[in-house]
């Protein structure tokens, strides 16, 4: 069988609800690698919060972080990476325009550095993975370079209102996604970026055509990736809009949904 590129979202997909890779899924992925298939991660997380799983699977491929805003090769610094941040002027426009709405916090990330507008222990605990450099205080004062991503935290009802505003006012310069529960966070990256953009860059480098890409996801930041892949698979716990466009729907992230598809499609044991 010709080599396939297996693309894995992390939260709600590769990872169980306990933030672990199950034994069966891990075994299946390692077997696929042994047979010459390529395995990669495509996530909204920064690298510092995904490298644990990258190393656990012994990956040697590039990785897509920040939903395509940062595509790089952790084991090859000379690989042609892509870092496409948001222009600082756009960030100022967005932050200024949402001040009339109710939100809880704004966080900017520059690769692995974090800028938190308002000090909040819950936010700091979540973003502390990988021991990043954290700067607290007004973003207008402290954020002096173009960020990789911008995050807006608000309650569920206000998140919907703010996203409607972003779509109406800023759609020409940004893309925005929502995080799944328990935190209601809107993630913003530069216009035109998504996981599919990063995967296409990696697949071209690996010489694997689109029809031999198998991608797994569960949330709205996986929509373009699932549509782009030759075989786009929605997890059983995925959102309805993702299941509607997927080629297949598998079991949930807690029930080895990835392993089930790969065993069948790649004829693994």
Neighbouring residues of 13: CB distance < 8 A, sequence distance ≥ 6: 216, 217, 218, 222, 235, 253, 257, 258
Distance set, CA 21 to CA 191, 217, 219 (Å): 32, 15, 18
> Active-site positions?
9
138 contacts 117 by C-beta, under 8 angstroms = yes
Region of residue 68 (left: phi > 0; alpha: psi -120 to 50; beta: else): left
13 contacts 50 by C-beta, under 8 angstroms = no
User: Residue 253's closest CA among 213, 215, 218?
Assistant: 218
Start-to-end CA distance of the chain, whole Å, equals 15
Rounded to whole angstroms, the Cα distance separating 138 from 116 reads 8
Rounded to whole angstroms, the Cα distance separating 30 from 141 reads 47
């Amino acid at each position: 069988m010709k080599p396939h590129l297996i693309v894995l979202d992390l939260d709600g997909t590769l990872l169980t609800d306990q933030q672990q890779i199950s034994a069966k899924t891990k075994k299946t992925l390692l077997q696929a690698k042994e047979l010459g298939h390529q395995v990669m991660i495509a996530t909204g997380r920064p690298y510092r919060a995904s490298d644990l799983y990258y190393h656990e699977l012994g990956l040697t491929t590039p990785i897509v972080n920040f939903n395509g805003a940062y595509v790089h090769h952790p084991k090859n610094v000379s690989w042609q990476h892509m870092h496409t941040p948001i222009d600082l002027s756009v960030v100022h426009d967005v932050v200024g325009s949402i001040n009339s709405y109710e939100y809880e916090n704004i966080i900017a990330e520059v690769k692995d550095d974090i800028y938190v507008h308002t000090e909040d222990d819950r936010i700091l605990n979540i973003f502390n993975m990988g021991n990043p450099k954290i700067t607290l205080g007004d973003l207008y004062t402290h954020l002096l370079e173009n960020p990789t991503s911008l995050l807006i935290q608000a309650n569920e009802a206000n998140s919907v209102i703010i996203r409607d505003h972003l779509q109406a006012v800023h759609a020409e310069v940004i893309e925005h996604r929502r995080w799944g529960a328990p935190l209601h966070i809107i993630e913003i990256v530069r216009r035109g970026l998504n996981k599919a953009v990063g995967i296409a860059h990696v697949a071209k480098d690996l010489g694997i055509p689109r029809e031999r890409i198998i991608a797994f996801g569960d949330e709205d930041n996986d929509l373009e990736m699932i549509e782009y892949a030759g075989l786009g698979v929605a997890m059983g716990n995925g959102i309805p809009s993702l299941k509607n466009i997927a080629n297949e729907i598998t079991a949930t992230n807690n029930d080895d949904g990835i392993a089930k598809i790969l065993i069948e499609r790649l004829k693994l044991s």
